[in-house]
Chains A and B, each alone.
Chain A
Amino acid sequence: TVRPKNEVEQKQLCAFGEYVAEILPKYVQQAQVTCFNELELLIHPDGIIPVLTFLRDHTNAQFKSLADLTAVDVPSRQYRFEIVYNLLSLRFNSRIRVKTYTDELTPIDSAVSVHKAANWYEREVWDMYGVFFANHPDLRRILTDYGFEGHPFRKDFPLSGYVEV
């Protein structure tokens, strides 16, 4: 069974994506709608804080809730990690995904100044992938053991680790 296509919602999301891309052309590189009605915004890494504050404060786009902050590792690209923010709007009941890229050693601005919830998520991304966040209060390991070396979720880290248990 295939989910029935909701054309109206798709058009609305397309229109909204174009609206945002028109307002912030400095940072938004691409905006797309996936087949099951999800909006994605692809952003240059310098522009995370402006875009996130815009999405949080603007009247037409009140995405006050940061639902998720993750990273995707694609080792064959030049900028290896893609950082994904999932935002939820309570007023309009819609979700949006914001994606940025970074390579291993470039720091990214912390989203903690925009959304307080980003604290532990960024600690997790730092611990699991090694993406450093500038201006993060208290960036330290979470989820890995105390003397752990290496960053587990990367694709070149073996499944059973380097140390015998």
Chain B
Amino acid sequence: MNRKKLQKLTDSLTKNCKHFNKFEVKCLLNLFYNLVGDVTEWQSVVVGLDRNAFRNILHVTFGMTDDMIMDRVFRGFDKDNDGCITVSEWVHGLSVFLRGTLEEKMKYCFDVFDLNGDGFVSKEEIFHMLKNSLLKQPSEEDPDEGVKDLVEITLKKMDHDHDGKLSFADYEQAVREETLLLEAFGPCLPDPKSQKEFEAQVFKDPNEFNEV
């Protein structure tokens, strides 16, 4: 990819993205192409990060561990569902992921939690996500009893229309009441510390040779 094209791409992405400035977009592009590898080899195929590479980033850089959630985060980034994160999906995804407003993050998190994508987070989905959240006590008869109870607690707290599943409206209302519920069913956003580290690292390195 030549310099001119890169410049153009940067400009267009910067225009569409409100949370990053031009310099930051440039840094992210650099990072993206570093991760993907040499661009010229990818001429014909769609250029992007595949699921495994992306999950690796999530795991190493942002300390995420939950397989299912990481899958869902990948889905969240991969807007066109082609199993590959393109450069614009990368920048847009990170914009919400790192700097999104509460509204954007709510939308993003809800999509992550809505496992089957039907617009609702059902009881089963919640159970699925919370399955491993409690220490299993071997003494208990039903090891999932605690989890079931947790599911009930969350539904009681968040299901405002009492239909046994969470709509986005339910979720939004609950989060506005209590921000802690944003990542109610699993961490799908970077924790503040790793976010800071990531930003510091990515937005500084190229800075040195660029500005000087």
Q: Say whether A and B bind each other.
A: no
Measured CB to CB, the residues of B under 8 A from A are: none
Which A residues fall within an 8 A CB radius of B?
none
